[in-house]
Structure 1
Amino acid sequence: MCGIAGIIHLDGPGDIGREITQMLQSMKHRGPDSAGYALYGEPSEMLVMRFKLADPNDSQDFDFSERLERSRREVESRLSKIGANVDRVQSESAYAYRATFRYEGELKPLADYVENIPGCEVLSLGHSLEIVKDLGDARTVSDTYKLDDFRGTHGIGHVRMATESDVDIAGAHPYWAYPFSDVAVVHNGQLTNYHQWRRRLERSGHRFQSECDSEIIAVYLAERLAAGMSLDSAMKESLDDLDGVFTYLVVTEDSLGMAKDEMAAKPLVLHEGENMVALASEESAIRAILPQEIDSYDPYEREVMVWSR
C-alpha cells in the first residue's frame, strides 16, 4: 500500500513542511503506521545532521532519559574529536536530535564514528537535506517536530503501512543515501533483486540500517551521481538494473526526480504548474494543497522525469 508525495518550488522557498504534511495526511489510509519527510531548506555552509538515539518502543526502559542524555553528550564529543566545529545539538523529540556544525572532512568516517554509539542512527546529513520520520500519521509527526514552520524549496514524503517489517523508525521512509550528502529516496513497490544489489553495494563499502529496498535505490543513485553521472542518466540506468514493480521519487540538493518501472503498476499522479511541481500516489493529495482546478496525468511505464531549481 503506502503513499508517496513530492513537491518542488521552482521560483523560491515555500511552506514545504506544511504542504508535504497536508499531502501525506490526505493519504493516511494508505499507511497509518509511520510518516516521514525529506525536506530541503536553503543550502548552508553548516552541515545539518538529524539523528536518533533510541526508538520510541524503548521509551519504557527505566533508564531511558539518563541513557539518552549520556549518548547526546557523547555525540557532541565525537563530533568535536573528529574535527567538527559544533554549533548546537538540540532535542527534537524524546529520542531524536538535530545537530548543526562546520566540517570539512569526508562524511563516512564522521557518520560511522557517531553511529558507533549504541542506539545511534544518523537519519540524514547534508547542507540542505533534513530527514524527519517517526511513528504515527503525518499530522502527529509534523506537530511533534514543528514541521509546519519548515520553509524550503523541495521535498518528498511517505506514509507507511508495515507489511513486512516492524513498526519502528528504522523501517520508516525516506532513506538518506549514506554516506552521500543531500540525497534521499521514497518509493512504493518492491525490488525483486534487492539482495543481489545489497551484497554488491556492501562490497563497495556501503552500510545499510534497514532491510528496506528504498535504501538500496538511494545509495545506487548517489553512487552514480558521485561518479559524475547526471541524475536523469542514473535514474534511467536504474530501470535496467533494478527489477520489480516500483515507483520512486528521489531528491538531491537542487532536484526532484521520479521513475516508474516497465510495468507502471504503482500509481503516481503528476501536476506541473508554472512555479511548482507536485506528485503523489493519489490526486487527492495534490488537491489538498491546490484546491483550484488543476491538470494532472499519470506518467507512463519506464518514464523518468527530473525537475531542477
Structure 2
Amino acid sequence: MCGIAGIIYKNRRGNVGRDMTAMLQAMKHRGPDSTGYALYGERSELLVMRFKLADPRDAADFSYPERLARSRREVESRLAKIGATVDRFDGESEYAYRATFRYEGELKPLADYVEDVPGIEVLSLGHSLEIVKDLGDANTVAAQYGLADFTGTHAIGHVRMATESDVDIAGAHPYWAYPFSDVAVVHNGQLTNYHQWRRRLERLGHRFQSECDSEIIAVYLAQRMADGVPLETAMKQSLDELDGVFTYLVVTEDALGVAKDEMAAKPLVLYEADDLVALASEEGAIREVLTEEIDTYDPYEREVLVWRR
C-alpha cells in the first residue's frame, strides 16, 4: 500500500514541515506504521547529520538508557577524532539526534566511522537535507520532532505499511543516498532485480542499512550523478535498468523529480502552478495544502519529470 508525497516551492521558501505533514496525514490509511520526511532547509556551511542511537523497540531492555548514553558519548568522541568541529549536538528524543559541525573531509569515512558504533544509523548527511523518520502517523512524528515550524524549499515524504519487514525506523522511508550529500528517495512499488543491484553497488563500496529496495534507488541515482550523469538522465536510465513496478520521488539540493515505470501501475497525482509543484499518491493529500480549486493529472508510463529551483 504505502503513500508518497512531494512538494517544491519554485521561487520562495515555505512552511514545508507543516505542508508535508498535512499531505502525509491525509494518507495515513495507506501506511499507519511509520512516517518519514526528507526536508530541505536553507543551505548551511555546516554539515547537518541526523542519526539514531538505537531503535525505540529496544526500550524494554534494562540496559537501554545506559547504552544510549554510552553511544552518544562515543559519537561525539568520534566526530572530534575524525576532525569535525561540532557546533550543536541536540537530542530530539532519547534515541534520535541532530548534529551540526564543520568538516572538510569526504563523507563516506565520516559516516562509516560513526556507524561503526553498535546500533548507530546515520539517517542523512548534507548541507541542507534533513531526514526525519519514526514510528507512528505524520502528526505524531511531526509533534515529536517539532516539524510544524520547519521552513524550507522542498521535501518528500512517505507513510509506510510494513508488509515484508519489521515495523522499525530502519525500514522507514525516505532513504539517504549514502555516502552522497543531499540526495534522498521515497518509492512505492517493488524492484524485482533488487539483489542484483545491491551486489553491484556493494562491490563499489556502498553499504545498506536495510533490506528495502528504495535504498537501492537512492544509491543508484547518486552513483550515476557522481559519475557525471545529470539527474534527469540518471532517472531515465533507471527505467531501463531497474526492473519492477514502481513510482519514485527523488530530491537533491535544488531539485525534485518523479519517475514511473513502463506499466505506471503505482498511483501518483501531480499539480503544478507558477510557484509550486505538489505530488502525492492521492489527490486528497494535495488538496490539504491548497485552498483554491485545482486540476491534477497522472504522469504517463515511463515518464520522468524534474523541477528545479
TM-score tier by shorter-chain length is over 0.9
Q: How many residues align?
A: 309
The Cα shift of 1:291 comes to: 2.7
Determine whether 1:169 maps to 2:183.
no
The Cα shift of 1:63 comes to: 2.2
| Structure 2 residue ranges without an equivalent (≥5) | none
Letter in structure 2 aligned against 1:200 = R
The Cα shift of 1:66 comes to: 2.0
Aligned positions of 1:60-75 closer than 5 A: 60-75=60-75
The Cα shift of 1:70 comes to: 1.4
* C-alpha distance in 2 between matches for 1:104 and 1:166: 37
The Cα shift of 1:86 comes to: 0.7
| Structure 1 residue ranges without an equivalent (≥5) | none
Q: TM-score, normalised by structure 2?
A: 0.99
* C-alpha distance in 1 between matches for 2:150 and 2:43: 14
Match of 1:114?
114
Match of 2:186?
186
The Cα shift of 1:13 comes to: 1.0
Q: Secondary structure at the match of 1:198?
A: helix
Determine whether 1:261 maps to 2:261.
yes
Q: Secondary structure at the match of 1:189?
A: strand
The Cα shift of 1:11 comes to: 1.1
Match of 2:91?
91
Q: TM-score, normalised by structure 1?
A: 0.99
User: What per-residue deviation string (whole Å, max 9, x for no partner) do you get for residues 117-158 of structure 1?
Assistant: 011000000000000000000100000000111100000000
* C-alpha distance in 2 between matches for 1:146 and 1:85: 25
* C-alpha distance in 2 between matches for 1:77 and 1:128: 24
Match of 2:284?
284
* C-alpha distance in 1 between matches for 2:168 and 2:291: 33
Match of 2:129?
129
Determine whether 1:38 maps to 2:28.
no
Letter in structure 2 aligned against 1:101 = F
User: What per-residue deviation string (whole Å, max 9, x for no partner) do you get for residues 133-189 of structure 1?
Assistant: 000001000000001111000000000000000000000000000000000000000
The Cα shift of 1:303 comes to: 0.1
Aligned-residue RMSD, C-alpha: 0.6
Letter in structure 2 aligned against 1:296 = T
The Cα shift of 1:97 comes to: 0.2
Aligned positions of 1:221-300 closer than 5 A: 221-300=221-300
Q: Secondary structure at the match of 2:152?
A: coil
Match of 1:47?
47
